[in-house]
Structure formats: structure tokens, C-alpha cells
Amino acid sequence: MQKRIVDILNILGQTYHGATIALECKNPFQLLVATILSAQCTDKRVNIVTKDLFKKYPTIQSVAEAIPAEFENDIRSTGFFRNKAKNIIATSNILIEKYGGKIPKTMEELTALPGIARKTANIILTFGFGIIDGIAVDTHVSRVSKRLGLTDSDNPEKIEKQLMELIPKSEWGNINSRIIRHGREVCFARKPACGICPLNKVCPSAGKIK
């Protein structure tokens, strides 16, 4: 397994060396908002929405003071807009009241905020502050990891724990972006392109998924 892990990491690194987060953000707070919006929504759609959203609400204070119904309408096309608006506004108020308008830099503090689970917290820490505390597990990471035989679970937290045990910590910050790129470009949810996959020689699922 360790030999295969090394091969997988090397191939992903060579193939997707420059891969990084697709969400377009200028600061950790924008990243927090965008990541909450990205739940059950494409990064492309989120980037379209946040382009205007961040102009209308340029600060944490402006989001905290937003009229819920109006904010809901502003993010409507990302789906689940009522719950997302509620969580983003509530989190903004907590950030002002408890953290002086700053984004906390620990997993425990972030996951205590409304709408932020480990995946979102990992993204904020990794791409917002360069703090590596885990591996963000989204649908791409879950699917590709399972096909590669790196996990047998469908639970994101269990998958993260298994990946953290298998993958050296020095690679945790890169693995999410590289697997996401691979999932979007090759290892599709339906009918993965195994014939052109750079990982097909080390993937136990290669050619078996129709």
C-alpha cells in the first residue's frame, strides 16, 4: 500500500502540479463565505455569485447587517439559499462579537461557527492561512479516494481520518486541489475516463466502472 501511495502522490503531483482552489477570493472572510456557498453548488456558479456579492457586502460588518431576505435573494442561485444566508449572517455576527472581526485560526473555533464543518474549516485554514490541520473531503475527494482503494467509507470525517493516516502530512495541503482537478477532468462520477487516466496502473477500479 505505501508503495502505491507514493506512486499515486507522485503521479498527481506531476499531472496537477499547479492545482489550487478554484474559488475566487481576496481574503479569508471571502473564502469562508464562498466555501459555505459551494455546498451542493459548483465553484463556477459560486464565483459568478460572489463577484457581485463581495462588491455589495465588502466587509464582515456589512454581511452581519444584511437584511436576510435580501441576502437570500443575492445568493439564491447557489441553492439552499435560506440556510446558507442564515449561517453566513450568523457567523459574521459571531466573528464581530467574539473575535473582533477576525477569522479564527483553529479547527475547533471554526467548526463551532454556523455552517462550518471540517471540510470548510480545512479549506479556510489551508488556503486562507497556510495552516495544515487536515484534508478537506468533498464529493471529488470522496469518490476518487474510494476508487483508488484509499478508503472504504462514505463518511467524510472517516475518509479524512483514513487519508491522514495514509498520506504524509507534507502532502495534505496539496492533495485536495489535485484530486479535485482529477475528479473534474478524468475521474468523472459517471463513466470515468480510465483509458486516459494517469493513475490507471495503480488504480484497482481502472476499467471496471462503466
Residue 208 pLDDT level (bands cut at 50, 70, 90): confident
Rounded to whole angstroms, the Cα distance separating 140 from 64 reads: 32
- The pLDDT tens digits for 63-95 are 999 999 999 999 999 999 999 999 999 999 999
- Give residues with Cβ within 8 angstroms of 56, minimum separation 6: 62, 74
- The pLDDT tens digits for 33-61 are 999 999 999 999 999 999 999 999 999 99
Answer whether residue 209 shows pLDDT above 90: no
**What percent of the chain has pLDDT above 70?**
100
From the list 74, 84, 133, 138, the catalytic residue is: 138
Please state the length of the chain.
210
From the list 119, 146, 161, 191, the catalytic residue is: 119
What architecture is domain 28-129?
A: Orthogonal Bundle (1.10)
Nearest to 35 by CA among 158, 118, 135: 118
Answer whether residue 23 shows pLDDT above 80: yes
Angle at 96 between CA 90 and CA 97, to 5 degrees: 85
Residue 177 pLDDT level (bands cut at 50, 70, 90): very high
Nearest to 88 by CA among 33, 145, 25: 33
Answer whether residue 210 shows pLDDT above 70: no
- The pLDDT tens digits for 110-138 are 999 999 999 999 999 999 999 999 999 99
Please answer whether residues 192 and 186 qualify as being in contact, where contact means their C-beta atoms are separated by less than 8 angstroms. Answer: yes
> CATH topology for 2-19+135-196?
Endonuclease Iii, domain 2 (1.10.1670)
Cell of 29: 472572510
Residue 119 is a catalytic residue: yes
Q: At what angle do helices 28-37 and 81-99 cross, to 10 degrees?
A: 150
The rounded mean pLDDT for the chain is 96
Q: In CATH terms, are 2-19+135-196 and 28-129 the same topology? A: no
Domain boundaries, the chain: 2-19+135-196, 28-129
